Amino acid sequence: MKKHRITGVQPGSIAEELSVEPEDLLLKINDREILDYFDYAFFAQETELSVLIEKPDGEEWLLEIEKDEDEDLGLCFENDMMDAYRSCANRCIFCFIDQMPPGMRENLYFKDDDARLSFLHGNYVTLTNMSDRDIDRIISYHMSPVYISFQTMNEELRCQMLGNRFAGEALKKADRLFEAGIEMNGQIVLCKNYNDGDELTYSIERLSRYAPLLQSVSVVPVGLTRYREGLTPLMPFSKEDAGRVVDLIEAWQERMFSEYGYHFIHASDEWYLLAERPLPSAETYDGYLQYENGVGMLRSLLDDFEEAFACLMKKPPVFSEERTVSIATGLLSYETIHAMGERLMKEIRNLRIHVYPIRNDFFGSTITVTGLLTGQDIRAQLSDKPLGDTLLLSETMVRTLTGGENAVFLDDVTVADLESALQVPVNIVKSNGWDFVEKILNMSN
């Protein structure tokens, strides 16, 4: 029987009330063995539970619990999966991890393709690493949505792009999920001269047959770093390419909205910026289901900013002394952030805002998104710039490592390191326009 070590108990939870403690072992729920997170998430949602716990001295406790269906037990385990993570078995031609430089922290090189992370964190899976048993459990437990990296619906091309001879056959698992009424979200990483053009049209048409259970599909351009030696040659997209992608997607959005009442397929923000096209309205994003995939982030930011700006203008702040704020951002979003800064400076006396576009020397100039900037590039390119009272950075640039007290960039430079090097306080801004305005105006203090 599989035993799961409990590493923490949430304060005020059911588990705490019943004196469950770290180092106890979870054995069964309702006399059923728990293999991993799939089983735990399904069984623990029942309203009447018999939970079998083993104490460190070997004594077994059977806990009888009545609770609400959505009430959590409050147990924490050694890892989210309650099992070993499943690594990716594919050799995708577009894999970003294969394009990472040596010497970075170990966890950045791990390729996950674990369906359980799809439910926990919205990670996309290719279906090639999912067994029939996994599909059976998803259907039996009716767990949804499943996040799927489709890439293409051409089976032969999918095998080529994923570097896996079973990748085309794996698409049949999506058929099973659809037939069982499981909701899905999808993505397509577009590679020039592979799955774009007519192939993209074919994929969208095939995927549209999963509507409305397939709630959304994002189309994102492949990210190409300067570390591609020995990998499949891939080309960046041009302005004209991006325009064609936007035109195709918007035509399908109109068609799908007419038939199903939602837009279905979405282009990431990069396509609109590269094509120099205006961003769609908020309604087009169907509730921002693909937000974490870079779809609608800028529209959401702009709309939040406009709301915050209108509220601010009812009683504009007054600075008796000049307040100078600096913002570092990726090349892709520079014009948008710069325009927002100009709006604020025009209306607020004694406010000065420097917006600095940071070139990505670490990964290469073709990487222009803010979330992949490193501490060393920011440090090098701002070392001789006037920074004023504070430097603002997007939360997408930094991560907090387990057990760490300080946020770090991808290259392990910490925010504290950057503050020390640039001799300026660094403030991390959440990905919304309200926090952007509040941090600029120092309203949160």
Q: Taking Cα atoms as reference points, which of 309, 431, 410, 432 lies closest to residue 358?
A: 410
pLDDT at position 319 is: 87
Q: What does the pLDDT look like over 310-320, one tens digit per residue? A: 998 888 888 88
Calpha distance 61→368 (Å, rounded): 55
Q: What does the pLDDT look like over 222-262, one tens digit per residue? A: 999 999 999 999 999 999 999 999 999 999 999 999 999 99
The mean pLDDT value for 92-119 works out to 79
Secondary structure E strands in 178-331? 184-190, 214-221, 265-267, 323-330
Q: pLDDT grade, residue 139 (50/70/90)? A: very high
Q: What does the pLDDT look like over 362-421, one tens digit per residue? A: 999 999 999 999 999 999 999 999 999 999 999 999 987 544 457 899 999 999 999 999
pLDDT at position 404 is: 44
Q: Taking Cα atoms as reference points, which of 395, 174, 184, 380 lies closest to residue 301?
A: 395
The mean pLDDT value for 21-48 works out to 89
For residue 198, count CB atoms less than 10 angstroms from its CB and return exposed for 0-12, middle for 13-18, buried for 19 or more. Answer: exposed
Calpha distance 334→440 (Å, rounded): 16
Domains and CATH numbers, the chain: 4-77 (2.30.42.10), 97-295 (3.80.30.10), 300-441 (3.40.50.2300)
pLDDT at position 116 is: 66
Calpha distance 257→344 (Å, rounded): 37
pTM for the model:
0.85
Please give the residue that has the higher pLDDT: either 350 or 81: 350
pLDDT at position 237 is: 97
N residues, the chain: 445
pLDDT at position 1 is: 80
pLDDT at 16 over 90: yes
pLDDT at 298 over 70: yes
In angstroms, how far is the first alpha carbon of the chain from the final one? 53
pLDDT at 134 over 90: no
The mean pLDDT value for 216-226 works out to 97
